[in-house]
Amino acid sequence: MTTLATPPLIELGAPVLGEPEKRALAEVVDSGWLAMGERVRSFEQAFARMHGVEDAVAVSSATAALQVVLATFGIGPGDEVLVPSLSFVATANVVVAAGATPVFVDIEAPERPHMSIEEARARITSSTRAILIMHYAGYTMDVPAWRRLADEYGLFLFEDAAHAAGATGAVGVYSDAAAFSFFANKNLTTGEGGMVLVRGDAPRARMRLMRAHGMTTGTLDRVHGRTTAYDVVECGTNCRMDELRGALGLVQLQRLPEWNECRRGLSTRYRELLAEMLPEVLVPFDRPDPTVAHLFPVLLPPGADRRSVVAAMTGSRVQTSVHYAPIHRFDFYRRRFGALSLPRTERFADGELTLPLHPRLTEADVSRVVATLAEALGRTTGRPSREVAS
C-alpha cells in the first residue's frame, strides 16, 4: 500500500536565524556584560543611519516604545489621541495606560486599509493632542500629508511603525516619533525589542531618561568609572534593551534590505497568481505602493466562510491568521468607551485573511498557498477549484 507523505508545514511567519546570530550571542556571553551597553548603542546608530535620521533610542518592545513616546511628549489625562482600530491592541492600550482617550478612526477603503485622513480630520476636537498612525502590513502611509494635518491643528504626529522596519524615505522622518517592533515575527527580530526614531535632541534625551528609571547615568558608565553617582530627574520606567538583543539586531540589520526585497518579490508573485486564479479575492494596496511587505493580507469574497477556509488550509498544513480584530469591538473598549461603528474597518476585518510571507518561503510555496486557498474556497462556496501553475 502506498502512503502519501505529509506535506511540509508552510508557516505564517518565520525568523531567519543562523550562525551569524549564534556567534553574536556567544560574543556577548563571553564578554561578561549583558545589560545595555555598547552593542545596543551601535544598534541604535546603525538603525538610525538606515532610516536617514540622526539617532535612535532602543527599548524592550514596540509597546514600550509607544509608552515612552507618549510620556516624553506629555500625553496624559484629558488628552485625546486619534488611533486606528485596525491594529494590534497595543496601539490603543498605550493611550489608555497614559490616562488619555483613544479616538478610533475608520480606514480609507478595503483596497487601502490605512487610517482615513478625512475621517481623522472630522474627529479632531479641542481635546485632541496627537495623531497616531499605523503602517498596516508594512505599506507606508503618506506621512507628509499627515504631518500637514497635524501642523494645521497644532498636534503631535506619532507613528506605530511596528510593521515597517527598513522603510526608508518617510517613516521616522516627518513625524515627532516613530516606534518599531523587533518581535519574533517581524522583518527584523531580536525576539523582543523595539526602537524609537524621534526628532530633536531634547526629546531624545528625555526618552533615554524615561526608559531607565529617570536616572542621569547608566550602569555601564558607573561600572567603567566614568561616574560614581547619579540623580533621578524623571519618574521613568525600565524598558531598556539588553546587549544580547542589541547584538542580534546588529546582525539582522545587515540583511534587512535583502529580506525586505525578498518579501516584495514574493508579494508580487502572490498578486500574479491570485489575479489569474482567484480574481474574486481582493489584494489591498496597489503594487507600486511603497512597502517592506511585512504581511500579505487578502480579503475573501462575499459569502466565504472564513472559519471553514482557515480550517481547510490548516488541514493542508498552511498557516494563516487574521490582522486584526478591530480594537473598538473588544469587550474592554466597548465597556470603557461605548459602542462605536466603523463600517469600513468592520467589513475589512470580517473578511481579511493573512497568508504566509517571510524570506524562507519559495515561489513554489506561494503557488501551494494559492492552490490551497483556491481549494478551500471551492469547498466553502461550492465553486470549482482551479489548478495553479507552480
Name which of 263, 272, 274 is nearest 371 in CA terms. 274
Question: What is the Cα–Cα distance from 190 to 117, expressed in whole angstroms?
Answer: 33
Spatial distance between the Cα atoms of 136 and 140, rounded to a whole number of angstroms? 7
Bridge pairing between strands 128-134 and 80-84: parallel
- Alpha-carbon torsion 368, 275, 186, 99, what sign? negative
The three-state secondary structure class of 319 is coil
179-198 burial code (b ≥16 CB/10 A, e <16): bbbbbeebbbbbebbbbbbb
Cβ distance 161 to 180 under 8 Å?
A: yes
Q: Which of 41, 114, 186, 368 is catalytic?
A: 186
Coil, strand, or helix at residue 30? helix
Cell numbers describing residue 387: 489548478
How many residues are listed for the chain in this entry? 390
Question: Which helix (H) or strand (E) element contains residue 198?
Answer: strand 194-198
Can you tell me the distance from the alpha carbon of 160 to that of 87, in angstroms, rounded to the nearest whole number?
A: 9
Q: Rounded CA gap, 264 and 216, in Å?
A: 43
Cβ atoms of 348 and 5 within 8 Å: the answer is no
The three cell numbers of residue 115 are 487610517
22 annotated active-site: no
Task: Say which amino acid occupies 274.
Answer: L
Give 106's Cβ-side CA count (13 Å radius).
15
Say whether the peptide bond before residue 324 is cis (omega within 30 degrees of 0). Answer: yes
Q: List, by residue number, the catalytic residues.
A: 186
